[in-house]
Structure 1
Amino acid sequence: MMIKIYGIPNCDTVKKARRWLDDAGVAYDFHDFRKDGLEPERLQGWIDALGWEAVLNKRGTTFRKLDEADKAGLDAAKAKMLMLDQPAMIKRPVAEWGEGVSVGFSADEWRARLAA
């Protein structure tokens, strides 16, 4: 199974996830969506699979610094626009596992996905 990890290299959770994969000897590709960009279609696929609420990181500094007007009336379309404009608002890491996708890092979940 080919795994593709999306995130920002200096994110602590992304670092932890990549270290875990390296220690487990699991090959993966890394995509820095701040530097390399993010296609709207790919983000839409994540939103379709997981829901925009799961993909948008409301606890992150980038989201918290938004004007209240930008946070008001948040829906799928507005959330997608915000995430495309500022990819740091995407919960990290996003992992594509062949046909599946996940956000965040959980060693137990990732171990189960690799065992499947």
Structure 2
Amino acid sequence: MPETGNGRAYVAQTSAAVGRELRLAMLLADMLPVARTIRVSQREPECTWPSPYARAYDARGRLLPLNRAQCRTAARWVMRAHPEANWNEAHDLDLATGILQRAGEAYRTVAGRR
């Protein structure tokens, strides 16, 4: 069985799991109405220790300002909704589809190099 980057096997998602992902994306879109993508990682730029951190980007890829509460809340929600992800790497959550991808994969898909 193929494995993910963190050593866990891929598992087919149920419709309930897909529904939860879309609900999460809708809640985050309500909290950050202009955002199109949220990048989540465990590394805050100013900290040397792991700390949930999120950045929001609009449809053009411009960084949107987040306050500390929005940043931490969004990161924690995404991390708890996707415990199978390898959080040693940054991940992008598409708020339109609810799909979570590693940050590098999201760029390859946009560039058409998938």
Shorter-normalised TM-score: what interval?
0.3 to 0.5
* TM-score computed with the length of structure 1 as normaliser: 0.33
Higher RCO (Cα < 8 Å, 6 or more apart)? 1
Q: TM-score, normalization: structure 2? A: 0.34
